[in-house]
């Protein structure tokens, strides 16, 4: 009896001791890892997408934040991140409706000694062809798509003028050059479809500008943004006395939203060689009863770098025949039937170069 009571006493004491140690551990855990710190660590890991090598990291970062907002978690996570004083950049205010950097009409010069490297040096604020205004949130994110083959000199001139031009407009933009590999007949429209499909893999662009390599805009009031309806930007050019070539002209440079472009199934892929692929796109919009807008001809001014007809881009003899069939085929000939093989994708300093095998007629 005596023995049992002292043994039991010891075992009771041991139980209390274990309980005490456990309680103290819980208190210590709470002191070391308070709830909001845990949350803020989680939020840091979740909202800070590592900057990708493709130069699109910042954009991906903001997309991730938006995603959180949509599920109702965004604000909470955001505010805890701020409270913990981590490195979330402050929210930018919207850029002004009219950029204070615009210069209006300029007389352009084309210096034949200018090199691509010179243009790289002029534009150190451009990363992999992409730029965002540093001090304000751009009103639109714009992908510039350039169909290309054997026009290196024209590309140097265009990049030299276009990068500062777009920056004066305070846009978030990236330039994509879609390069047709091989010597088969050129197909401008198909390259532009490909540019659209590939650029969308990078970012959900608001606006797509389909841009000939040899047309350089002269007036930065000709804004490279999309409108409620498709916009034809290159109404006037030096070679036509700054007048429209014909009233329904829809070539050279056009600006379309994703919705507008998808509504007509993009360009036809069937126009091999020169001519009428732009008229075909115009007809596609007409069939949908969608009207076209144009900036005033006084500002829609372009300098076309002189060139002759390219080898491999001869006039397409079938172009008018094809144009008669638009109504019949537009639903099955376009973005939904654009087959190609991407041979390389190079994120160069001033543009993304996408070399593609598009087949032949
Ligand atoms: N393009 C190329 N490489 C080519 C062909 C066309 O990059 O070999 C691209 C380039 O972006 C060009 C666009 O496709 O700006 C349109 O082609 P284009 O410039 O040949 O068309 P445009 O209507 O000229 O300007 C047609 C021939 C002009 C002959 C002039 C003779 N008076
Ligand atoms: Mn041309």
Ligand 2 centroid from CA 238, angstroms: 12
- pLDDT of the residue at 69: 31
Which of the pair, 171 or 20, is modelled with greater confidence? Answer: 171
| Ligand approaching nearest to the C-alpha of 158 | 1
Place of tokens 């005596």: 2
Q: What's the whole-number mean pLDDT along residues 208-217?
A: 98
Strand partners for 146: 177
- pLDDT of the residue at 11: 58
Check pLDDT > 50 for residue 331.
Answer: yes
Check pLDDT > 80 for residue 86.
Answer: no
Check pLDDT > 60 for residue 67.
Answer: no
Can you list the positions of beta strands (E) in the chain?
130-131, 141-148, 172-180, 207-211, 215-217, 231-232, 236-237, 253-257, 301-304, 341-347, 352-357
- pLDDT of the residue at 354: 99
Q: Which of 17-21, 190-194, 210-214, 335-339 has the lowest mean pLDDT?
A: 17-21
333 flagged as catalytic: no
- pLDDT of the residue at 327: 98
- pLDDT of the residue at 68: 27
Name the residue at shortest CA distance from atom 27 of ligand 1.
309
Check pLDDT > 70 for residue 12.
Answer: no
| Ligand approaching nearest to the C-alpha of 313 | 1
Q: Determine the residue of 156, 186, 304 to mutate for testing ligand 1's pocket, defined as the one with the most ligand atoms within 8 A of the Cβ atom.
A: 186
Q: Determine the residue of 144, 145, 146, 151 to mutate for testing ligand 1's pocket, defined as the one with the most ligand atoms within 8 A of the Cβ atom.
A: 151
For the CA of 211, the closest atom of ligand 1 is: 11
Ligand 1 centroid from CA 70, angstroms: 45
- Residue 227 near residue 291, CB atoms below 8 Å: no
- pLDDT of the residue at 41: 30
Q: What's the whole-number mean pLDDT along residues 213-222?
A: 98
Q: What's the whole-number mean pLDDT along residues 108-136?
A: 97
Residue from 48, 153, 244, 274 carrying the catalytic annotation: 274
Check pLDDT > 60 for residue 189.
Answer: yes
- pLDDT of the residue at 35: 37
214 flagged as catalytic: yes
Q: Determine the residue of 249, 276, 279, 309 to mutate for testing ligand 1's pocket, defined as the one with the most ligand atoms within 8 A of the Cβ atom.
A: 309
Contacts of 329 (CB under 8 A, 6+ apart): 268, 270
Ligand 2 centroid from CA 186, angstroms: 13
Ligand 2 centroid from CA 361, angstroms: 22
Q: How far is CA 360 from CA 16, 33, 96, 340, in A?
A: 86, 65, 46, 11
Q: In sequence order, what DSSP letters do the residues of 68-83 get, joined into one string? A: HHHTT-HHHHHHHHHH
Residue 227 banded pLDDT, cuts 50, 70, 90: very high
Check pLDDT > 60 for residue 44.
Answer: no
Q: What's the whole-number mean pLDDT along residues 250-261?
A: 98
Our CA dihedral for 268, 274, 276, 280, rounded to 10 degrees, sits at 10
- pLDDT of the residue at 37: 33
Check pLDDT > 50 for residue 300.
Answer: yes
Name the residue at shortest CA distance from atom 31 of ligand 1.
308
- pLDDT of the residue at 87: 72
| Ligand approaching nearest to the C-alpha of 275 | 1
- pLDDT of the residue at 285: 98
- pLDDT of the residue at 45: 32
- pLDDT of the residue at 21: 60
Ligand 2 centroid from CA 1, angstroms: 110
Q: Determine the residue of 191, 274, 312 to mutate for testing ligand 1's pocket, defined as the one with the most ligand atoms within 8 A of the Cβ atom.
A: 274
| Three-state DSSP state, 53 | coil
Check pLDDT > 80 for residue 120.
Answer: yes
Name the residue at shortest CA distance from atom 30 of ligand 1.
308
Percent of the chain with pLDDT over 70: 76
Check pLDDT > 90 for residue 283.
Answer: yes
Check pLDDT > 50 for residue 4.
Answer: no
Mean pLDDT of the chain: 84
Check pLDDT > 90 for residue 319.
Answer: yes
Check pLDDT > 80 for residue 82.
Answer: no
- pLDDT of the residue at 90: 78
1 flagged as catalytic: no
- pLDDT of the residue at 53: 30
Which helix (H) or strand (E) segment is 274 a member of? Answer: none
Q: What's the whole-number mean pLDDT along residues 242-267?
A: 97
List residues near ligand 1 (CB under 6 A): 146-151, 186, 188, 212-214, 274, 308-310, 312-313
202 flagged as catalytic: no
- pLDDT of the residue at 58: 34
Ligand 1 centroid from CA 309, angstroms: 6
Ligand 1 centroid from CA 271, angstroms: 14
- Residue 40 near residue 48, CB atoms below 8 Å: no
Q: What's the whole-number mean pLDDT along residues 295-306?
A: 97
- pLDDT of the residue at 88: 76
């Amino acid at each position: 009896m005596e023995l049992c009571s002292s043994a039991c006493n010891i075992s009771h004491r041991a139980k209390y001791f274990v309980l005490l140690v456990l309680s103290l551990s819980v208190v210590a855990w709470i002191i070391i890892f308070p709830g909001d710190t845990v949350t803020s660590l989680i939020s840091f890991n979740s909202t800070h997408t590592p900057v990708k090598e493709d130069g699109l990291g910042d954009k991906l970062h903001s997309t991730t934040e938006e995603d959180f907002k949509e599920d109702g978690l965004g604000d909470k996570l955001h505010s805890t991140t701020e409270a913990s004083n981590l490195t979330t950049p402050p929210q930018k205010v919207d850029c002004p409706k009219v950029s204070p950097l615009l210069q209006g009409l300029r007389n352009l010069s084309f210096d034949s000694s200018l090199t691509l490297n010179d243009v790289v040096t002029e534009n150190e604020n451009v990363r992999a062809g992409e730029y965002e205004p540093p001090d304000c949130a751009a009103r639109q994110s714009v992908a510039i798509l350039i169909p290309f083959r054997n026009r290196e000199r024209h590309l140097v001139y265009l990049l030299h003028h276009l990068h500062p031009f777009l920056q004066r407009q305070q846009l978030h933009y990236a330039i994509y050059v879609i390069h047709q590999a091989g010597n088969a007949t050129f197909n401008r429209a198909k390259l532009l479809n490909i540019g659209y499909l590939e650029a969308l893999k990078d970012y959900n662009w608001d606006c797509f500008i389909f841009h000939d390599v040899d047309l350089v805009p002269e007036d930065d009031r000709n804004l490279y943004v999309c409108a409620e309806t498709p916009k034809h930007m290159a109404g006037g050019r030096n070679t036509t006395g700054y007048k429209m070539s014909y009233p329904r002209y829809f070539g050279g440079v056009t600006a379309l939203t994703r919705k507008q472009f998808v509504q007509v199934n993009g360009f036809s892929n069937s126009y091999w060689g020169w001519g009428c692929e732009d008229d075909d796109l115009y007809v596609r919009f007409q069939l949908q009863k969608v009207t076209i807008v144009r900036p005033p001809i006084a500002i829609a001014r372009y300098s076309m770098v002189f060139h002759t007809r390219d080898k491999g881009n001869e006039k397409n003899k079938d172009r008018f025949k094809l144009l008669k069939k638009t109504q019949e085929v537009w639903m099955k000939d376009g973005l939904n039937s654009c087959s190609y093989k991407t041979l390389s994708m190079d994120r160069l300093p001033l543009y993304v170069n996408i070399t593609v095998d598009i087949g032949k007629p």
